[in-house]
Amino acid sequence: MFGFGFTLTGSRLGTLAIIALGLTVVATLAAYVFILPEKRRDALSKCLQKLRDVLTFQTPPLEAILRALYIFATLYCVLSGLFMLFTSFWTGLNAVILGPVLLRITFELLMMFVRLVKNTAEINARLGGCCEPPEDQPEEQPETAAPAPVKHGPDDKFCKECGSTLDQWKKCPNGCDK
């Protein structure tokens, strides 16, 4: 198109796709053998340790990605709204004012779910990674103590026979004390 002598036809694009697939398979196998094993973690550089944590889902990068995407979307909304002020004043003003507010609400909701997962994983780690008893052992039931015997004294407000509340003359309304 521009006269540089480089065009991608269907056959060249298919060849490049096959080469990309082969390189992807080789890189995946190399990462699986040299980066992902736990025994190799200490031998890795800091950069490769962080890459390993991302690949093993120890440190999800979604929080950082969402922050960067929020900044980009907010700046784009404000700048495009400023340009829209020259063509359609009210549309541009809405984009400058309401756009960042709606973006903030949307990204706050997304970050809430990310933090929920992060906090749940942290609580699970503090509990030792296990919250339920093993399947081969039944859960222990707490022993229930026998109720303490009721001691009746002269100041009792309940009938000794049926448990009804005594009236003002200390008599059972059911006639148990006759």
Kind plus residue range of the DSSP H or E element containing 22: helix 10-34
Tell me phi and psi for residue 165, to 5 degrees: -70, 130
- Which residues are within 8 A (CB) of 169 and not within 5 positions of it... i.e. 6 or more apart? none
Q: Is residue 66 part of a domain?
A: yes
Could you count the other beta carbons within 10 Å of the beta carbon of residue 60? 14
Q: For 145-178, what is each residue's pLDDT tens digit?
A: 666 655 555 566 778 778 788 887 778 888 876 6
pLDDT at 127: 86
Half-sphere exposure of 97 (CA within 13 A, CB side): 7
Q: Is residue 150 part of a domain?
A: no
Positive or negative: CA dihedral 60, 64, 68, 69:
positive
Q: Is residue 143 part of a domain?
A: no
Q: Are residues 120 and 94 in the same domain?
A: yes
Domain membership of residue 53 as a residue range: 14-59
How many Å apart are CA 130 and CA 113, to the nearest integer? 22
Q: Which comes out higher in pLDDT, residue 124 or 60? A: 124
Say how many domains are in the chain.
Answer: 2
Decide: 94 and 131 in contact? Cβ < 8 Å. Answer: no
Q: For 85-128, what is each residue's pLDDT tens digit?
A: 888 899 989 999 999 999 999 999 999 998 998 888 889 888 87
Q: For 64-78, what is each residue's pLDDT tens digit?
A: 899 999 999 999 999
How many Å apart are CA 117 and CA 79, to the nearest integer? 34
59 pLDDT above the threshold of 60: yes
Q: Is residue 173 part of a domain?
A: no
How many Å apart are CA 10 and CA 15, to the nearest integer? 9
